[in-house]
Amino acid sequence: MPQNKHLYALADCNNFFVSCERIFRPDLRNKPVVVLSGNDGCVVARSNEVKQLDIKMGVPFYQIQELVKRYDIVHFSSNFALYGDISSRIMKILSKYTSDLQQYSIDEAFIDLSHIQSTQQARLLCLQIRQEILQGVGVPVSFGIAYTKTLCKIASHYAKKYAGYKGACLIDSEEKRLKALAQYPLDEVWGIGRQAIKKLNSLGQHSALDFAQSNPYIAQRLLHLPGLNTWRELNGEDCISVREIPQKKSIMRSRTFAHGVTDRLLIEQAMSNFCNACATKLRQQKSVCKQLVVFANTSRFNEQKGTIYGVITLSVGTNDSILLTHLTLKIIRQQWQANTPYKRAGVLLTDIQTEEGVQQNLFEQRDYQKERNLQKAIDKVNSIYGKNTISLVPQMHTKAIEELLDVGKRSPAYTTSIKDIITLHC
C-alpha cells in the first residue's frame, strides 16, 4: 500500500442528533430514540436501538406509529440550535490537535495527523481525543485513520460497527486495506452515487474491493474524473480534498406550517428567516447564487386555493442576505392574496457558483464591496455574540417561528438560551 506524506483521521460523531439529546437526558441511554425532521415529518436520526428494529432513515414518522408505541420509542423534534452549538464545541477540541482541520459536515471532520511519528501513535492520540470529547462534551465519536480520506470513511464505519476497535480503526497496511474493502458494500462508498452504482453492478462490481481492482479506465469512462479519483483513493493514493468537493447545486429552506397562515407579516417573517439561512450557507461554502425562487401555497386539501411563485435571475451572483431578503419580500407583496391560508412556503437558491471571480455589472449603480463589507461585519458580530444578535427587521424570533410549526417535541436550548440552562437542586 503506498504511503503518502499525509495521514488523516476522520472524526465522526455517533448518531449525532440522538447523542446531543442524550447529553442532558442520561435516562435515555440504551433506550430507543429518534429525531424528526422539520415539522416532525420524517426520521433523520436513530439510536442504535432503533436501527436494530429495522427502522430506516427518512421513513415518514406516521408510518412507524405502531412501532413507537410497541417499543416505547422516544422522539424529538429537530433542535438545530443545540446541535450546532455541540458541533462547534467538538470542533474546537479537534482543532487543538492539528493545524489542518477540515469540517465536512455538522458531525464529521478530517484532521491531518502527518506530524505524528507512527500510525500506532496516531491511533492512541485519536483514542485520547475521543475520551476528551466524551468527558468534556458528552458525545461518543468514532475515528477512521488512513492515508486517504475515502479510506478514512471506510475505517470509521468499522470503528462504529465493531466494539473491538474501541472507537478508532486504523487502515495502514495492504492487508488491512484489502480486508476492509472486501467487506464494504459498493453503494456505501463515499463519492459513488446511485446511478453509478447501477452501472457498476451491471459489470459485476458489488464491493469496494471489486471497484478498486477494476480497470481504472472503465471507472473514468463511466464515472468521469470523480470516479477515477475515488478509485485512486481506494487504492491508497491521496487525491481528494474536502475543499474540492463540489458544492450543492441548490440550497433550499422550506416549512409546512401546523395550520394555514393568513397573516402576511408572519409569512414575510418566516420567509426572511429562510432566505437568511440560505444566504448564510452560501457564505459558509464561499459561493454565490444567480437565481432566486420564492414559493408559497395552500394545502391541496383546502377548498380555497392560492399560490405565490416567483423567479428572479440576477445579473451578478450574490450571497448577501439583505439583497436576497429584499427580493423575496418584493415577490410576496406583489402576489399576496388576502385571507388565503398558506400551508407551505420556502426559498430556493440555484445557479450556484464559487464567489471567486464573480463578474460585476458595469451598468448597475451598486457598491458591491460596501455590501460585502457590511455582511462580513454582521456575520462577525453574530459569530462572537450569538446567532441573530444582529438581524434584519423582517426576521422573526425563534419562538415566533416555532408557533407556526409543529415542533412540540423539541428539547430545550440547553446551551444557547439562558432560560433553558439546567438548574441543579442540592
Q: Note the pLDDT tens digit of each residue in 246-262.
A: 555 678 888 878 788 99
Q: What is the pLDDT of residue 171?
A: 97
What architecture is the 1-183 domain classified under in CATH? 2-Layer Sandwich (3.30)
What's the grid cell of residue 45? 436520526
Kindly give the parts of the chain with pLDDT less than 70. Answer: 1-4, 38-39, 242-249, 356-366, 368, 395-408
**pLDDT tens profile 338-382:** 999 998 898 999 888 877 655 665 556 667 678 778 888 888 887
Q: What is the pLDDT of residue 87?
A: 93
Domain ranges of the chain: 1-183, 185-246, 251-395
pTM of the model: 0.75
Taking the alpha carbons of 88, 90, 92, 98 in that order, is the dihedral positive or negative? negative
Q: State the Cα–Cα distance between residues 276 and 267, nearest whole angstrom.
A: 14
Q: Which fold has domain 185-246?
A: DNA polymerase; domain 1 (1.10.150)
Q: Catalogue the E-assigned strands of 26-66.
A: 33-36, 43-46
CATH class in words for 251-395:
alpha beta
Q: What is the pLDDT of residue 362?
A: 55
Strand order in the sheet with 8-13: 101-105, 108-112, 8-13, 141-146, 168-170
Strands 141-146 and 168-170: parallel
Q: What is the pLDDT of residue 226?
A: 84
Q: What is the pLDDT of residue 247?
A: 57
Q: What is the pLDDT of residue 63?
A: 93
Q: State the Cα–Cα distance between residues 159 and 270, nearest whole angstrom.
A: 41
CB 284 within 8 A of CB 338: no
